[in-house]
């Protein structure tokens, strides 16, 4: 790394605030879940480091859901922060977008175009289709049990 002229504070700001992994676009985030993970991460041993010492190493996207992999710059501990709670009682964000698209009568291409206009990457077309099939199976099952309306 090139030496920076100036005070140690500039050096610290450069090293701790410079993005290590470039991100672009927007994401759909369960904001309370996301913030809770950061707040609950607290400080960790052996150097009592905090989330402020973490640098983003990688983003793993699964459709609209992302997991951010952070590494502590001081002790190399790895921490993952998720944008969506897969264990949540509500549908995950990927099932939700497919259900929403189906509800308003649009398909993958229109859904992708809509999200592209706001710079949010969508899942691959085959993943979308797979979720549509799973959703259709669930709806048929619930209709058979008269637990939801008949379409």
Q: Which residues in this chain contact Zn ion in the complex, by CB under 5 A?
A: 49, 72, 74-75, 77
The H-or-E segment that residue 10 falls in is helix 8-17
Q: Which C-beta is closer to Zn ion: that of 5 or that of 46?
A: 46
Q: Which C-beta is closer to Zn ion: that of 72 or that of 98?
A: 72
CA pair distance 19, 34, nearest whole angstrom: 19
Q: How far is the CB of 43 from Zn ion (least distance, A)?
A: 8
Contact indicator for 33, 85 with CB cutoff of 8 Å = yes
Q: How far is the CB of 59 from Zn ion (least distance, A)?
A: 20
Cis (ω within 30 of 0) for the bond into 64? Answer: no
State the residue for tokens 């799973």: 134
Q: Which C-beta is closer to Zn ion: that of 49 or that of 139?
A: 49
Q: How far is the CB of 74 from Zn ion (least distance, A)?
A: 4
């Amino acid at each position: 790394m090139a030496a920076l002229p100036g005070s140690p504070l500039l050096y610290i700001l450069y090293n701790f605030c410079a993005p290590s992994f470039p991100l672009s676009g927007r994401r759909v985030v369960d904001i309370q879940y996301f913030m809770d993970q950061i707040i609950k991460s607290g400080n960790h041993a052996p150097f009592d480091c905090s989330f402020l010492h973490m640098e983003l190493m990688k983003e793993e996207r699964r459709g609209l859901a992302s997991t951010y992999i952070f590494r502590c710059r001081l002790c190399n501990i790895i921490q993952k922060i998720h944008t969506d709670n897969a264990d949540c009682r509500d549908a995950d964000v990927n099932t939700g977008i497919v259900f929403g698209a189906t509800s308003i009568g649009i398909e993958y291409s229109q859904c992708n175009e809509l999200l592209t206009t706001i710079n949010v990457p969508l899942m691959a077309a085959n993943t979308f289709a797979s979720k549509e099939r799973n959703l259709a199976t669930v709806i048929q099952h619930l209709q058979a049990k008269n637990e939801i309306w008949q379409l």
